[in-house]
Amino acid sequence: MITDKRVAARIAELEAELAVLRSAVVIMNGHARVKKNKRAGSVLDQAVAVDGARRKGRGLGVKKYPPKVAHQREDTAKALAVIAAAGAMTSDAIVAKTGVKPGWIGPMRSRGYLKAGPDDTYVRTKKVFEVQPGR
């Protein structure tokens, strides 16, 4: 939940980062006074840290999953494709045909990729599963 305090805190954080970056630009352009140039190293270090945090955590471009997670998601996509092609399948048939663990079906059902069909079977839904979604 977004509150006024959280918004105000975020604004203050961004303003502090902006002040550091502006100071760095002034120093790099040579327009700072001699007194401020004595602390130029620390200001530039702060600016580099702020820019690194911005690049790291603020969603520049598409982030990719780590290799292990990407591999797991590929396996999930393959299993969902097998279920979609086969139609309604029991949980035992899904485990046997796709090689997934029996506990895999519950999360896929709760996330909307599978739904319960007649006679204790599961059917693939139309919900799209992306291996590497834009996060």
List the single range of 14-18, 31-35, 85-89, 93-97 with lowest mean pLDDT.
31-35
Per residue, the 3-state secondary structure of the chain, as one string, reads: CCCHHHHHHHHHHHHHHHHHHHHHHHHHHCCCCHHHHCCHHHHHHHHHHHHHHHHHHCCCCCCCCCHHHHHHHHHHHHHHHHHHHHCCEEHHHHHHHHCCCHHHHHHHHHCCCEEECCCCEEEECCCCCCCCCCC
Residues 108, 84 share a domain: yes
Asked whether residue 130 is domain-assigned, the answer is: no
**For residue 31, is pLDDT > 50?**
yes
Residue 115 pLDDT level (bands cut at 50, 70, 90): very high
Asked whether residue 72 falls in the same domain as residue 46, the answer is no
71 and 114 part of one domain: yes
Same domain, 53 and 71: no
Residue 59 contacts residue 65 (beta carbons within 8 Å): no
**One domain for residues 33 and 53:** yes
- Answer yes or no: do 43 and 74 share one domain: no
Average pLDDT over residues 91-106: 88
Q: Examine the pLDDT at 134 and tell me if it is beyond 50.
A: yes
pLDDT in tens, 84-93: 999 888 989 9
Q: Please state the domain count of the chain.
A: 2
**Residue-number span of the structural domain to which 16 is assigned:** 4-57
Mean pLDDT of 45-74: 71
Task: Give yes or no: residues 71 and 52 share one domain.
Answer: no
Domain membership flag for residue 129: no
pLDDT band at 40 (very low <50, low <70, confident <90, very high): low
Examine residue 131 and state whether it is found in any structural domain, yes or no: no
Domain assignment present for 135 = no
State mean pLDDT over 61-84: 83
